[in-house]
Amino acid sequence: MSLPSELHHGKASRLAAVIWLACLLLAIAVLAVRFMPLISGQGQSPIETNILKLLPQNQQDPLAQKAFEQIAGAMEDKLLFLVKAPDDATAVKAASQFSEQLTSLDWLTDIQGKITETQQQAWGKLFYPHRFSLLTPEQQQRLSSQPATQTQKVVQSVYNPFSGVTANELSNDPFLLFRDYLQSLGQQAGQFRLDNGFLISRQTAPDGQAHSYVLITARLSGSPYSPSLQARLPELTLLEQTIAHTDFNGQQAQVLHTGVLFYAAFGTQSAKDEISTIGLGSLLGVILLLLIVYRSALPMTLALVSIGSGLLCALAACLLIFGKVHLFSLVFGASLIGVSIDYAFHYLTDRLAAGSRWNPVAGLKHIFAAITLGLITSLVGYLSMLVAPFPGLQQLALFSAIGLTGAYLTVVCWYPLLAASKVHDAPLPQLRLLNAALAFWQKPGLRYLLPSAILLAALFGLYHVHYDDDIRQLQALPEGLQTQEAEIKAVTGMGSTQQMLLLRARSEQALLTALSQTDHQLQGLKAEGKLTSFTSLGTYVPAEVQQKLNFELITQLYRSQGDKLAATLGMKQAPVAPEQFAPLTLTEFLASPASDALRFLWLGEQELGEDSAGKFASVVLLSGVNDARAIKALAANNGDISFLDKADEISSLFGEYRIRVTELLLLAFGLIYGLLTVRFGWRQACWVILPTVVASVAGLAVTNLTGLPLNLFNLLAVILILGIGIDYSLFFAEQSRHKELAGSASQATPARQSTLLAISLSAATTLLSFGLLALSHTMAIHSFGITVLTGIIVAWFLAPVSMKNLSTRREGA
Amino acid sequence: MTLTRLLTALVIPLALLTAPTFAATAANTETEQAGITLQQLQQTLAAHELVKGDFEQVRNLSMFSQPLSSSGHFVLSRQQGLWWQQTQPFPVSLVLTKNKLSQQFGTEAPQLMNADENPMVFYFSHLFLSLFQGDTQKLQEQFDVALSGDADNWTLALTPRTPPLTQVFTSIVLKGDENLDKLELTELRGDSTRISFTDQSHPSTLTQEEQSVFAL
């Protein structure tokens, strides 16, 4: 491989530089178009932070995907607050003040503090006209087997001053059936009651003290992932602090909160913080290194130009292709700093070593083969990831590949022009250290001994390593938010799980029947403690068949018991049986303001193929699932029911990803080895690839030492080790090959020294970037960092073994 | 989402009170007569740890051809709660404590209900407990209060201020001296319920039987 002859001519090389400049300007234009609206505060950020967007959609079941989206959509913009105080009065006072202040935040809508009269009546208004078609299962049983007990119950309730039976109620519903029906629906309310219009509950807090909790909810005016919305969060924090610092007649109150927004904002913030510390640390480290080694600002500027142009191309290309760039791709893209700068290092170190003999075009020629081969092997490594059907991996692969190519082109097209000036003759810095390191590898046997020893140790570690794909393990959630959520969950019984059943049927009525059957089964599981609660439309809208049965039972009751009731209570007129069957329809239910919060459970009629299980679908939300197997068994018994568990699904996806990445890595190693054999022959190719193989195994095995389970992100790190590690040994192999072709041993030593210096610089910058990543609190980033850290150290250390005939040619120190 | 389920489920029991609604009555402002203050009334009624006596309840509903009467004995303990022992026209024993409600018909097994399981059931029960105990502080949260008369013959008129009560009662009137003697609840359509208390005494301790009744 040699430099294309056109580049030897100044004209052609100038042309290449101009073309490349045009490409970069184009990339800048693309970015400007996308980011401009942000500056004026409009439009969505083209940077995606939702980790779920990295994952493929559920392709097997589009309906399941739709269900997830609908449920997530209904949940993600909700905020839930509990105002906590030592007594009811303080809690209500604080809640009243807090909900009032919330209305001042224009990014919140539907603030639900005090329940209005209209809201209180909405349910009554919806169900009341249909009271003769609605019965609880208990009532159905009683009315069909012993209707006389219902009469007895009415008589007792009328006398009981505590039952609250009014004349109004008695004349509209003489058998007092409706109150029990509503009561049974209300049972799900758990431990809350109304106090001055606020929902309040008195419970023992985790600290063992009894507290009063008032529930307040609100909705965001936009997506919780929107950065502009997240930026307003401090306004809310301020309100919460105001409440905490207010004195309510000598009592204190406190606001607890939960909601996707708080987690999303935390995620964005910590990602931002980490990227800026890591990015800044890496940048400062690189600048410092370059200044020390090259003793001039020019190389530093050049290096930054190549990195910058790489990132620019990658970002622009990704935005063009995917519309958005995921934060993770950006973080991973930071690895470009570690890889692409290598090309600059080799060129600049050559320039440093050449001193006054420097010829910019010859210099490029000198390293052209090595960096081109380095680029090709890296591209093979990255692009093999493109095969995977996972959008996250694809974006990542493309981002890295394009960024790398961009940086490479900058070196090839611009460096000979930009770095034409010569430097003063001076020995390479740390020459003694470099020589000592090179001499170290001349010791016979070390070439076999050291890699084998490291490999053995790593394999031993790898043997003990275990996998854990559970996504819940990967989320580093802030402790404060988690304890608040736990307390809210304990008080309200509401968790943030996204476990659900998806039911489908051929018709609306069949679906309602299926829902009520499932409800019945879930009721049983609930009684066994296998889940805490569920939310199903079946609870609210019985199938018409069932309503008809209810209607018949009720008319039967009026006929058989009406006179008896009238006689016992001395009614002027015996209650008259209803004449018209007026069932509650789903359409009516969904149109009522009362069903506002439940409407999202209905997926409605689906445009699906003829052979699909059913056209109508609805979701049953589950919470507090203690025994997922029981739920799965319920779903397995019926082809029209599926159990959906987002966390589970993501975890299994992660597992799939992990296996796929492992396969692709093996494929990439194979392809790269194939490439290397073409250039170096199979024996030498073995030596070139060996350090990277050992480094990869060691990088994975190190997780054993940290005690953390292995996950997908460790494997993603191996992609990086592959890309960078191969370069290290490649340069050694290339320069020894070059020297062999030249047949002169005298030039070998400076060349080796400059190679070792260049790869040491590159390893140092990579470690600066990823050593910091290992400090991340985000488990995924930490896993990634720790593997890269270990792998790069090993790859750098072992790289010299790829020099040809290492131990036979002794070089003086 | 589950939180909204909670919200909706919660307000359901209230809906039964409000089926057909009428405009809420105008609110009265609290007035204090020269004879007795609310604070004094509260103190008077709280003076005795135990109140025992007989009750007679008359429900005068227009749909009945004649008023519905019931009578029996009651025990009101400031600490324990209320034991409502109806003897006529049929025996029922009701025990209401802070967080439990027990109902026993004749010799049947008692039915026990827990406030924790469904606090809305206790909404009315607790309102009644506040009425019986003359807990003016608690009542003021939900009613506009007007007190008249003197310590030997006072009248406390309550006008509901917040739903759901505004949709049920026009007024609740309490009358008494050292004790609460009369309680009259008037519903929106004019139907009324009167409870009068007689033969009231103030023993210092609960009997063995009463203690076991309250120990639910």
| Span A277-299, average pLDDT | 77
Contacts of A160 in chain B (CB under 8 A): 92, 94, 103
Q: What is the pLDDT of residue B121?
A: 66
Per-window interface: B 99-128 vs A, CB < 8 A? 101, 103, 105, 116-125, 128
* Residue from A182, A183, A165, A184 nearest A174 by CA: A165
Spell out the SS3 assignment of B160-172: ECCCCHHHCEEEE
- CA-CA distance, A754 to A342, in Å (whole number)? 12
Domain boundary assignment for chain A: 1-43+295-426, 135-195+543-583, 432-464+646-813
> What is the phi-psi region of residue A224: left when phi exceeds 0, alpha when psi lies from -120 to 50, beta otherwise?
alpha
Domain count, chain B: 1
Phi, psi angles (nearest 5°) of residue A806:
-55, -50
State the DSSP code for A204: E
| Span A543-557, average pLDDT | 91
Residue A745 has pLDDT above 80, yes or no: no
Percent of chain A whose pLDDT exceeds 70: 88
| Span A800-804, average pLDDT | 81
Q: How confident is the model at residue B21 (pLDDT cuts 50, 70, 90)?
A: very low
- Across the interface, do B18 and A621 touch by the CB < 8 Å criterion? no
- Across the interface, do A535 and B59 touch by the CB < 8 Å criterion? no
Start-to-end C-alpha separation, chain A: 31
Residue B12 counted as domain residue: no
C-alpha dihedral, A572 to A573 to A575 to A577, nearest 10°: -170
Q: What is the pLDDT of residue B205?
A: 86
- Across the interface, do A191 and B119 touch by the CB < 8 Å criterion? yes
Per-window interface: A 532-561 vs B, CB < 8 A? 533, 535
Q: What is the pLDDT of residue A548?
A: 92
Per-window interface: A 212-241 vs B, CB < 8 A? 215, 217
Residue A10 has pLDDT above 80, yes or no: no
Judge whether A129 is closer than 8 Å to chain B, CB to CB.
no
Q: What is the pLDDT of residue A696?
A: 93
Q: Residue holding tokens 């057909």?
A: B20
- The alpha carbons of chain A give a radius of gyration, in whole angstroms, of 35
- Across the interface, do A199 and B86 touch by the CB < 8 Å criterion? no
Residue A609 has pLDDT above 90, yes or no: no
Contacts of B164 in chain A (CB under 8 A): 120
Percent of chain A whose pLDDT exceeds 90: 10
C-alpha dihedral, A466 to A467 to A470 to A476, nearest 10°: 70
* Residue from A206, A537, A82, A205 nearest B3 by CA: A82
Q: How confident is the model at residue B5 (pLDDT cuts 50, 70, 90)?
A: very low
For residue A333, give how far its alpha carbon lies from the nearest alpha carbon of chain B (Å). Answer: 37
Considering Cα of A315, then A320, then A322, then A323, what sign does the dihedral take? positive
What are the helix (H) ranges across A592-645? 628-636
Q: What is the pLDDT of residues A89-113, one digit of tens each?
A: 899 999 999 999 999 998 888 888 8
Highest mean pLDDT (candidates A320-334, A448-462, A536-550): A536-550
Q: What is the pLDDT of residue A553?
A: 92
- For residue A201, how far is the Cα from the chain centroid? 34
Residue in A75, A168, A598 closest to B189 by CB: A168
Residue B56 counted as domain residue: yes
Domain A432-464+646-813 in CATH 1.20.1640.10: yes
- Across the interface, do A598 and B4 touch by the CB < 8 Å criterion? yes
Residue B25 counted as domain residue: no
For residue B207, give how far its alpha carbon lies from the nearest alpha carbon of chain A (Å). Answer: 24
Minimal Cα distance from B162: which residue of A? A196
Residue A459: its H or E element: helix A446-464
Residue A739 has pLDDT above 70, yes or no: no
Start-to-end C-alpha separation, chain B: 37
C-alpha dihedral, A725 to A727 to A728 to A733, nearest 10°: 130
| Span B116-144, average pLDDT | 77
- Across the interface, do B10 and A600 touch by the CB < 8 Å criterion? no
Contacts of A80 in chain B (CB under 8 A): 3
Tell which wins on pLDDT, A140 or A53: A140
Q: How confident is the model at residue A476 (pLDDT cuts 50, 70, 90)?
A: low
Judge whether A194 is closer than 8 Å to chain B, CB to CB.
yes
Q: What is the pLDDT of residue A549?
A: 92
Contacts of A163 in chain B (CB under 8 A): 124
| Span B184-198, average pLDDT | 90
Regarding the domain with residue range A1-43+295-426, which homologous superfamily does it belong to in the CATH classification? Answer: Multidrug efflux transporter AcrB transmembrane domain (1.20.1640.10)
Q: What is the pLDDT of residue B1?
A: 33
Judge whether B18 is closer than 8 Å to chain A, CB to CB.
yes
- CA-CA distance, A310 to B176, in Å (whole number)? 90
Contacts of A115 in chain B (CB under 8 A): 7, 10-11
| Span A291-304, average pLDDT | 81
For residue A109, give how far its alpha carbon lies from the nearest alpha carbon of chain B (Å). Answer: 14
Residue A261 and residue A224 in contact, taking contact as beta carbons nearer than 8 Å: yes
Residue in A75, A187, A570 closest to B66 by CB: A570
Residue A692: its H or E element: helix A646-706
Residue B14 has pLDDT above 60, yes or no: no
Q: What is the pLDDT of residue A76?
A: 81
Could you list the beta-strand ranges (E) of A630-722: 641-645
Q: What is the pLDDT of residue A738?
A: 64
| Span A623-644, average pLDDT | 84
Residue A335 and residue A765 in contact, taking contact as beta carbons nearer than 8 Å: no
Residue B57 has pLDDT above 90, yes or no: yes
Residue B23 counted as domain residue: no
| Span B140-162, average pLDDT | 87
Residue B160 and residue B25 in contact, taking contact as beta carbons nearer than 8 Å: yes
User: DSSP letter string over A425-452?
Assistant: --PPTTHHHHHHHHHHTTSTTHHHHHHH
- Across the interface, do A123 and B8 touch by the CB < 8 Å criterion? yes
Residue A415 and residue A360 in contact, taking contact as beta carbons nearer than 8 Å: yes
- Across the interface, do B5 and A117 touch by the CB < 8 Å criterion? no
Residue in B15, B124, B193 closest to A182 by CB: B15
Residue A288 has pLDDT above 90, yes or no: no
CATH code, B140: 2.50.20.10
Q: What is the pLDDT of residue A668?
A: 87
- CA-CA distance, A387 to A399, in Å (whole number)? 14
- Across the interface, do B120 and A570 touch by the CB < 8 Å criterion? no
Q: What is the pLDDT of residue A63?
A: 77
| Span B12-36, average pLDDT | 40
Residue in A115, A183, A535 closest to B5 by CB: A535
Domain A1-43+295-426 matches domain A432-464+646-813 at the CATH topology level: yes
Least confident of A519-523, A711-715, B14-18: B14-18
- For residue B193, what are the β-bridge partners? B59, B185
Instruction: Count other C-beta atoms under 10 Å from residue A746's C-beta.
Output: 8
Q: What is the pLDDT of residue B10?
A: 36
Residue B188 and residue B169 in contact, taking contact as beta carbons nearer than 8 Å: yes
Judge whether A160 is closer than 8 Å to chain B, CB to CB.
yes
Residue B11 has pLDDT above 60, yes or no: no
- Across the interface, do B14 and A535 touch by the CB < 8 Å criterion? no
Per-window interface: B 181-200 vs A, CB < 8 A? 187-189, 191, 193, 195
Interface test with B, best of A151, A156, A171, A182 (most B CBs within 10 A): A182
Name the burial class of residue A555, with classes exposed (0-12), middle (13-18) and buried (19+) by CB atoms within 10 angstroms of its CB: middle
Q: What is the pLDDT of residues A251-279, one digit of tens each?
A: 899 999 988 888 888 877 877 777 677 76
Strands of B169-176's sheet, edge to edge? B111-114, B100-105, B92-96, B81-88, B68-77, B50-60, B192-201, B180-187, B169-176, B153-160, B143-150
Residue B13 has pLDDT above 60, yes or no: no
Judge whether B21 is closer than 8 Å to chain A, CB to CB.
yes
* Residue from A808, A757, A769 nearest A292 by CA: A757
Judge whether A78 is closer than 8 Å to chain B, CB to CB.
yes
- Across the interface, do B70 and A189 touch by the CB < 8 Å criterion? no
Q: How confident is the model at residue A245 (pLDDT cuts 50, 70, 90)?
A: very high
- Across the interface, do A162 and B128 touch by the CB < 8 Å criterion? yes
Q: Supply the angle between the helices A391-418 and A646-706 in degrees, to the nearest 10.
A: 50
Residue A75 has pLDDT above 70, yes or no: yes
3-state SS, residue B183: strand
Least confident of A329-333, A365-369, B104-108: A329-333
Q: How confident is the model at residue A640 (pLDDT cuts 50, 70, 90)?
A: confident
Q: What is the pLDDT of residue A747?
A: 52
Minimal Cα distance from A540: which residue of B? B9
3-state SS, residue A134: coil
Least confident of A2-11, A150-159, B13-22, B133-142: B13-22
Residue A301 has pLDDT above 80, yes or no: yes
- For residue A750, how far is the Cα from the chain centroid? 49
- For residue A79, what are the β-bridge partners? A218, A259
Residue in B14, B117, B187 closest to A194 by CB: B14
| Span A459-466, average pLDDT | 81
Residue B17 counted as domain residue: no
- For residue B52, what are the β-bridge partners? B75, B201
Residue A157 has pLDDT above 60, yes or no: yes
Q: What is the pLDDT of residue A332?
A: 67
* Residue from A371, A365, A362 nearest A762 by CA: A371
Judge whether B205 is closer than 8 Å to chain A, CB to CB.
no
Q: How confident is the model at residue A475 (pLDDT cuts 50, 70, 90)?
A: low
Instruction: Tell me which residue range forms the domain holding B48.
Output: 30-214
Residue B70 and residue B57 in contact, taking contact as beta carbons nearer than 8 Å: yes
Residue A494 has pLDDT above 70, yes or no: no
The count of CB pairs under 8 A between chains A and B is 204
Instruction: Compute the mean pLDDT over every residue in chain A, rounded to the nearest whole number.
Output: 81
Least confident of A499-513, B121-135, B188-202: B121-135
Judge whether A567 is closer than 8 Å to chain B, CB to CB.
no
Which token pair is A685?
């190719």
Q: What is the pLDDT of residue A749?
A: 66
Q: What is the pLDDT of residues A127-154, one digit of tens each?
A: 888 989 999 888 999 989 988 888 888 9
Q: What is the pLDDT of residue A613?
A: 55
| Span A690-716, average pLDDT | 86
- Across the interface, do A166 and B17 touch by the CB < 8 Å criterion? yes
User: DSSP letter string over A62-107?
Assistant: HHHHHHHHHHHHHHHTEEEEEEEESSHHHHHHHHHHHHHHHTT-TT
For residue B5, give how far its alpha carbon lies from the nearest alpha carbon of chain A (Å). Answer: 6
Highest mean pLDDT (candidates A27-31, A223-227, A657-661): A27-31
Q: What is the pLDDT of residue A740?
A: 58
Per-window interface: B 130-149 vs A, CB < 8 A? 141-142
- Across the interface, do B120 and A121 touch by the CB < 8 Å criterion? no
Highest mean pLDDT (candidates A284-288, B62-66, B161-165): B62-66
Q: What is the pLDDT of residue A84?
A: 92
- CA-CA distance, A304 to A402, in Å (whole number)? 17
- Across the interface, do A194 and B189 touch by the CB < 8 Å criterion? no
